[in-house]
Amino acid sequence: MIRTILYRPVTGELVTGSEELLAAWQQEPDAMLWADFAGNAPEMEQQTLAENFGLHPLAIQDAQRDRHPPKVEAFSDNVFILLKGLGAATAGFEFETIQIAIFVGDRFLATRHSGPSPSIDRLWEALQQEGSLFADGPDALALRLARISVDRYLNRLLSLEPRLEDLEHEIVVNPRDEILAELIGYKTNLRKFRRVLLYHVQIFLQMLEKPPPQLRAERIHEIRDVYEHQERANSLATLYYEVASDLVEGYISVASHRLNNIIRVLTIITAIFVPLSFLAGIYGMNFENMPELKSRAGYFVLLGVMTAIATTLLILFRSRRWL
């Protein structure tokens, strides 16, 4: 699918269509175009991007790969920015990333995404409602798209904080194996967040230090804004990863403490019953010549001795705060 938006600066007209607007854009030197590609045959996509926008074949190949690290690369007449955006929203914290390729030229913005992109859809809808956004140029649209994308990361991360607080309380009140499994899942996802966001931080820091020619000098503030949000998202992902790690260790400590308490009680019970079992074993032997065997009070004396031993041990353990 190819969808396009043609903007005519002279009249402020905004036309939405498909690939037929590519020819109209080429015939109008003042017009600007946003072409969005998704779900097309690779060969057709390569041909369209190369013939209409003069993009480098290797950059197009990188854009079409499902797994490629984010990058920024400047060419003579365009700049190629490859980001990882969040896929469709999910109920939990689980997420999938999609490749978002952005090509910025003086008169065009070409985007290509490997799956449904809520960030691109949101910018597309905003542009249709407010066509004047295109008046700032394709570079401004590209940076706005990057800002929308990082905001989705931030919102997803901030939604995790209340859940981590709840889990911290549950670990103390009612530790369960489900909590440990949930925390390990969060650590796995946060590790992915950190890896992706670290790439993004490096990309926008590179653009901040050496802006590509296609991003005009007045865009430096937008670049810095996106960079700061990427850095904040990366810091939050790192913070929550450490919090999740601490909670995992806390859960293990609580579980170990509970196990130690159980073992201590069992040990005390064993310590009490060992001498009692010893006495019971001795007087349970079948010998006729046992001194207490003929005594009428022997049974009660033995019970008294066993009771005294058990009571003494309980008092001893209590005084040492083992109970």
For 123-158, letters b (16+ CB in 10 Å) and e give bbeebeeebebbeebbbbbbbbbbbbbbebbbebbe
CB neighbour class for 281 (10 Å; exposed up to 12, middle 13-18, buried from 19): exposed
Residue with tokens 């549950």: 170
Q: What average pLDDT does this structure show over 146-175? A: 90
CB neighbour list of residue 127: distance below 8 Å, 6 or more residues apart: 5, 14, 34, 133, 134, 141
pLDDT, position 11: 86
pLDDT, position 230: 94
DSSP per-residue letters across 146-171: HHHHHHHHHHHHHTHHHHHHHHHHHH
pLDDT, position 296: 77
Calpha distance 97→107 (Å, rounded): 29
Instruction: Decide which of 1.10.3720.10, 3.30.460.20, 3.40.50.300, 3.30.479.30 is the CATH code for 2-255.
Output: 3.30.460.20
Among 14-18, 65-69, 100-104, 280-284, which is the least confidently predicted range?
280-284
pLDDT, position 304: 87
At 166, which amino acid appears?
D
Calpha distance 109→32 (Å, rounded): 8
Residue 89: pLDDT over 90: no
- CA-derived radius of gyration, the chain: 35
Q: List strand residue ranges (DSSP E) for the chain, in order.
A: 2-8, 13-17, 32-37, 71-74, 78-86, 97-105, 108-113
CA angle 298, 303, 306 (to 5 degrees): 125
SS3 assignment, position 254: helix
Do 100 and 119 form a contact (C-beta atoms < 8 A)? yes
User: Does domain 261-319 correspond to CATH entry 1.20.58.340?
Assistant: yes
Higher local confidence (pLDDT), 20 or 95: 20
Residue 320: pLDDT over 80: no
SS3 assignment, position 39: coil
Residue ranges per domain, the chain? 2-255, 261-319
pLDDT, position 237: 93
pLDDT, position 109: 94
pLDDT, position 9: 87
Give Cα 158 to chain centroid, integer Å: 11
Write out pLDDT tens, residues 26-46. Answer: 898 889 999 999 887 888 889
Residue 318: pLDDT over 90: no
Higher local confidence (pLDDT), 11 or 148: 148
C-alpha separations of 217 from 197, 213, 223, 236, 280 in Å? 25, 8, 10, 30, 94
Write out pLDDT tens, residues 195-252. Answer: 999 999 999 999 999 888 888 888 899 999 999 999 999 999 999 999 999 999 988 8
Write out pLDDT tens, residues 94-141. Answer: 778 899 999 999 899 999 998 888 999 999 999 888 878 888 899 999
pLDDT above 70 covers what percent of the chain?
99
Residue 299: pLDDT over 90: no
pLDDT, position 134: 87
Residue 295: pLDDT over 80: no
Q: What average pLDDT does this structure show over 300-304? A: 83
pTM: 0.80
Calpha distance 150→144 (Å, rounded): 10
Q: Partners of 78 in the beta sheet?
A: 105
SS3 assignment, position 248: helix
Do 48 and 39 form a contact (C-beta atoms < 8 A)? no
CB neighbour list of residue 42: distance below 8 Å, 6 or more residues apart: 64
